Each structure stands twice: as structure tokens, then as C-alpha cells.
Amino acid sequence: TVGKARSKAKVPYPYGNDDRFFFYVLTVIPPSFFCVAYAEKAEAEKDPLKNIFNCTQRAHQNTLEFWPIVTSLSLIAGLSHPVVAAAAHAWWLLGRIIYVRGYITGNPQNRLYGVAGQLGVLPLLFVSISSVYNLIK
């Protein structure tokens, strides 16, 4: 999805094809300082395709930020309560799909429809605590 939006908006990749530059970036500059993953704000305000690309990139990155947490909670919760863990993870995933589909329209307000999917994290958290408690006792 991000690749399609990037090519439609004609936003260049953040790194050139120069391997020396890539090596320098990986070894010298911390990753959080060199990653320029978005189109410039001024460009995005003028070009709707660049705005859609920025929204798509943000939705993708936000999903990747949550994915390890939710997956870890699902694995831990599934040790003692597999059905509840699967249902809560599916709820989160459905909400995430709605969130991303809304966000990539270019209007960030449309992402709010998928926020209800975050409620799937709460049962995962509680059931994970229960699983850990059951394993310890």
C-alpha cells in the first residue's frame, strides 16, 4: 500500500542507491535521526497524492508500532486462554484494517472509525496477566 502511494505521489525513497551512504547511515547516524519517510509538509498541502502518501505511511508505521505489543500479548494470553486471545486479536486486527482503510483516504479524521479496534488490547492485557499468574502459581 505504501509503495503504491509512494509511486503515485512520486515521492522518492529516503535513501539513494549509493551503498557507501547507506553504510554510513547504518553505522554512524542513529536510525531515528535519518529516516525521512514522508513527503514535505508544504508539498503535501499542495498535492493531494502526497497527502495520501503521508497518511498511508503514518498508518503503516502506526500499525508496525503496535504489532509487536499485540502479538506478544496474544501469545502470552493464548497459553491459558487461547479462544479469548484469538478473539481479542481478531478484534484488534479488524479495527486496524478499518483504521488503515480510513486513514489512507487522505483525511486523518477517517481513521477514528477503527479506533474501536484498540479495545481488543484490553482483554489481551488482562488475559495475559491471568496467564502469567497461572504459570507462576
The residues near 126 (Cβ < 8 Å, ≥ 6 apart) are: none
Burial class (CB in 10 A: 0-12, 13-18, 19+), 28: exposed
Q: What are the sequence ranges of the domains in the chain?
A: 2-136
Q: How far is it, in rounded angstroms, from Cα 12 to Cα 21?
A: 16
What SS3 state is found at 105? Answer: coil
Buried residues in 33-51 as b, exposed as e (16+ CB within 10 A): eeeeebbeeebbeeeebbb
Radius of gyration of the chain measured on its C-alpha atoms = 19
CATH code that applies to domain 2-136 = 1.20.120
pLDDT 10s digits, 79-134: 999 999 999 999 999 999 999 999 999 888 898 888 888 899 999 999 999 999 99
13-71 pLDDT, tens digit per residue, is 665 555 545 554 444 445 544 556 777 788 878 988 888 888 898 898 889 899 999 99
Termini Cα distance of the chain:
46
pTM tops 0.85: no
